[in-house]
Structure 1
Amino acid sequence: MVWGLSEAVWGLGQLYNYFPTKHALFKTTGSFFNSGPYGGFIALIFPLALHYWLFYRYKNKLIGYLFLFAGAVCLMVFPATLSRTAWVAAIVGCAVVLLSDKRIIVKLRLFWKRRRRQCILGATILSLFLFVAAYGIYHLKKDSADGRLFMWKITTLAIQDSPMKGTGLGGFPAAYAKAQIEYFKSGRANETEKLVAGSPEYAFNEYLQIFLEQGLFGFILFLLLSFLIIKSGIQNKQIGATGSFVTLSVFAFASYPFQLWQFPVVWVLLGSICTAGSGSKKARTYHYRSKKIVLSVLLLGVLCFVSVICASRQKVFFQAKKEWKKLQPLYTVKAYDSVTDDYAALYPVLNYEPKFVFEYGIVLNATGQREKADSVFIRGLERSSDPMFYNVKGRNYHEMGEYDKAEKCYINSTLLLPERIYPYYLLTKLYADSANYQPEKMYRAAVAVLEKEPKIHSTAIREMRTEVKKILQEKGVAHE
């Protein structure tokens, strides 16, 4: 509750320009990078605040008002997050809390018996309201919703390649990119899907991503564990924690909470509270209590030991990232020769970071180490679904004189994101190369550069189109 309240206050400070935001495009982010996960984290607080307000409002009004105040503060910043998924998750979590309150259930039953017609009418009106609200929420950010639905569709197709074994942790980007390329190659995609297609780091549905990476067994195990935690929470009367756990579970349907460290920590915390129970007569005996203390100390010792090992390993990663940040200004000004050895030293530690891998590949290509650059770009394709890895890999092949491999990379890039113009520009240059001159293919690629409507008009688009026109003039090809 304190953690959530501090995040809410942080977000309010950002909303009124007292605190700096973490993202240029989003005003309220709290300690998160953008407002989506931030909204999901704030949503976790509502079931807790509601439960403890209901619990204390007759026993201790002052404490009840404190929880009501915490919920009100969260509600003040919640709309600014514009997270539709967080709203739905918070409503479902609060509904769990309300439906677990016996006093509310009794009142609802009495109301149903006495005013059945009004209940049916109210339920009908509520259903219509929810339908209209769902329609409005969908059209609030329609492109975003369509993009998310398309991501789930492609992730489902990717699961079919290895449904039992899965890809392993971190295997989502490569599997997703492969499935999207195959889907667009099949010709089944419509224009809307081509427009909303992207190269995501996450599936924006944790259940699909777990299925893709951990296979059917891992997926069923996670669902079973979540079900048992919710069931234990209800049985142990840990209603607030159960409501928040349900909120997190619902939020995971259309976001990526488990990819951020805060949410797995909260998942474990809420799961522990739900399964802890509220105590029993047996638990109060000295002998049983002593056993619990010994077991707790042992578990705490193991946890501390593992934490120290993990912290020591994390120190290596943090230090490597610190060194990388120092090198980036030199990379930006293209002083590649002076950073090659440093990037090579950091690569074994940071080869999981797509941006670092991309930069290292560019450095190797620029310094003439093209075969080594190729292996680095292959690693990049394993860690990212960004088509730029296909583009730079193809350009590397082009410079090596391996034109067929370069063509394949560029075509994969056009299939991965069909509305991007840059790979068609690279194809035009590849086909215009005197050692690989293919006039018909060159003309088709050039037409795509000149006639495709970009999502965002930019100086880079204008420069590419100007250069393609010059290439066509030099080759004596007229653009109709």
Structure 2
Amino acid sequence: MYLLLLAVVLAIVVSGSRSGVLTIAIVLTIWLYPYISFKLKSKILISVCLILALLGGGYFLKKDSADGRLLIWRCSLEMVKDLPFCGYGINGFKAHYMDYQANFLMEKPNSGYMKLADNVSSPFNEYLNIMIKFGYLGMIILILGILLLIFCYCKDPKYEKRIALYSLLSIGIFSMFSYPFTYPFVWIIICLDVFVLMRGNIVLNIQKNYKNILYVFAIAACSWGGIKLYQRINAEYQWGKIAYSTANENLAIYYKLMPVMGNNPYFLYNYSVALFELNRLNESLKLASFCNRYWADYDLELLLGNIYSKMKDYDMAEIHYRKASLMCPCRFVPLYYLYELYKEAGNANGMLSVGRSIMDKPVKVNSMQVMQIRNKVRRELSYIDIN
């Protein structure tokens, strides 16, 4: 048992997961707490110092990454502030976060976050995620659920229940800095822990007739869920076969999959890209705009900019390219597209201004794409200067 525990601890440390190390440190501290023969004040002081040391070490170990998360939390709190009670719904974070990040960076261009901001799909904090999705109401329900589980443990503090409580505690701590709820395995563990904690405490006395009704309802619900799951898996499979191809015949498959996949922003984005590459611009724009209801995203803004650019609506294209640039200020592609847009529109001043911005922009990752963009812009600006 202890060897297994040691192996788990070593694996977490070797993985380099700061959240994992902090989680295991706190859980081990609580577990060892009764066995440490210090006075209460000394125990508390040592525990607090250990946690603060780990937090500080984790921050300075990967400072840029930590600052990036601070930006995400800051923008996420702005979301909560704007819709505090009921939240934005299940897909609230994906649908709105990048807009908030763009607005924040537009208002605070010298905040120091410009080089750190990137495309974000999670708030890196499950509690913030709950508040964004369901508001304070969701948090109240969560807190009541936690209190119920603690009550169940206190009422019958068996060893297996203590282990279940430690398990939930570790998930709870890890949830402060990451997104464990995106993994089905975590949900399975949570369900098992909850079952262990509540077993023997929550007893339902249901008459036989009502039990039969519940059984029928459960079977019907499972059958319906199974059908929906099969439809979804089949649709995902068919989509996977055509996702990287834009052949005209694939559009019929995209259209056929819309009833099942029509609320999936990634599917809508792919469908819109396929239409765009086949030059069906009006349909592509309609679908991309519909996708924007579910998904505020850097790539989607670039796509919208490309559609408008091809439709010769340069003003709208400029808006979307600039928004993409604000969403991810460290990236060169939006500025390059804007540069090409001004060149195509004959806007020499805009072209020169954006071109100089590209050349002056700090490089976060010196990729081949970035080098090609900068080399091309440098040549063209040099040619303009000579003439």
- Which category of TM-score, normalised to the shorter sequence, fits these structures? 0.7 to 0.9
Distance in structure 1 (CA, Å) of the matches to 2:92 and 2:121: 10
Could you say if the C-alpha distance between residues 299 and 92 of structure 1 is closer, same or farther in structure 2, counting changes exceeding 3 Å?
Answer: farther
CA offsets, 1:377-410, max 9 Å, x none?
Answer: 2243334443111111111001112111111101
Q: In the superposition, relative to structure 1, how do residues 246 and 294 fare at CA in structure 2: closer, same or farther (>3 Å)?
A: farther
Change (3 A) 1:259 1:429: same
Alignment CA distance shift 1:357-1:216 (3 Å) = same
Q: Distance in 2 between matches of 1:300 and 1:405?
A: 56
Measure, in 2, the Cα distance between the counterparts of 1:389 and 1:427. 15
1:321 is the counterpart of 2:236: yes
| Alpha-carbon distance change, 171 to 375 in structure 1, aligned in 2, over 3 angstroms | farther
CA distance in 2 between partners of 1:422 and 1:268 (Å): 44
Q: Deviations over 1:246-274 (max 9, x none)?
A: 22111111111122222222222212221
1:450 pairs with one of 359, 365, 377: 359
**Secondary structure, aligned partner of 2:115:** helix
CA offset digits 1:158-182 (Å, max 9, x no partner): 1222222311101212211111111
SS of alignment partner, residue 346 of structure 1: helix
AA partner of residue 355 (structure 2)? A
Structure 1 position 414, deviation (Å):
1.3
Q: Report which stretch shifted further, 211-220 or 269-278.
A: 269-278
Aligned positions, number:
384
What SS does structure 1 have at the residue aligned with 2:90?
coil
Q: 1:457 to 1:185 in 2, by over 3 A?
A: same
Return the alpha-carbon distance in structure 2 between the equivalents of residues 426 and 359 of structure 1.
20
Rounded Cα–Cα distance in structure 2 between residues aligned with 1:188 and 1:328: 37
- Taking a change above 3 Å as real, the CA distance of residues 293 and 133 of structure 1, as seen in their structure-2 partners, is farther
Q: 322, 331, 346: which is aligned to 1:437?
A: 346
Structure 2 partner of 1:345: 256
Contact 1:388 1:413 in 2 (8 A): yes
Partner in structure 2 of residue 195 of structure 1:
115
**The structure with more radius of gyration:** 1
Most deviating of 213-222 and 348-357: 348-357
1:141 to 62, 69, 73: 62
Q: Matched residues in 2 for 1:124 and 1:222: separation? A: 29
> Is the 1:92–1:246 contact (alpha carbons within 8 Å) kept by the matching residues of 2?
no
1:218 aligns with one of 138, 159, 162? 138
Alignment check: 8 A CA contact 2:68 2:117 kept = yes
Task: Report 1 or 2 for greater relative contact order, CA contacts < 8 Å, sequence distance ≥ 6.
Answer: 2
Deviation of 1:81 after TM superposition, in Å, equals 2.5
Residue in structure 2 matching 1:157, options 56, 66, 78:
78
Deviation of 1:479 after TM superposition, in Å, equals 8.6
Q: Does 1:419 align with 2:330?
A: yes
Report deviation, 1:327.
1.8
Give the aligned partner of residue 171 of structure 2: 248
Kept after mapping to 2: 8 A contact 1:85/1:251: yes
- Contact 1:233 1:241 survives alignment (8 Å): no
* Distance across 1 between alignment mates of 2:191 and 2:164: 11
> How far apart, in 2, do the equivalents of 1:163 and 1:453 lie?
37
Mapped partners of 2:23, 2:210: distance in 1: 36
User: Cα offset for 1:314?
Assistant: 1.0
Q: How far apart are the structure 2 equivalents of 1:139 and 1:162?
A: 33
Q: RMSD of the TM alignment (CA)?
A: 3.0
Amino acid at match of 2:5: G
1:230–1:246: 8 Å Cα contact kept in structure 2? Answer: no
Percent identity, aligned pairs only, is 22
Relative to 1, partners in 2 of residues 1:127 and 1:165: Cα closer, same or farther, differing over 3 Å? closer
Contact 2:302 2:321 in 1 (8 A): yes
Q: Any idea what the Cα deviations from partners look like across 1:203-256, whole Å, max 9, x if unmatched?
A: 111111111111221222122212222232233212111121122111111111
Q: For residue 232 of structure 2, what is the amino acid of its counterpart?
A: F
TM-score using structure 2 length: 0.88
Match of 1:465 in 2: 374
Q: Could you tell me how far apart the structure 1 residues matched to 2:66 and 2:308 are?
A: 37
Confirm or deny that 1:79 pairs with 2:3.
Answer: no
> Which residue matches 1:267?
190
Residues 227 and 123 of structure 1, relative CA distance in 2, 3 Å threshold: closer
Whether the 8 Å contact between 1:317 and 1:350 is mirrored in structure 2 is yes
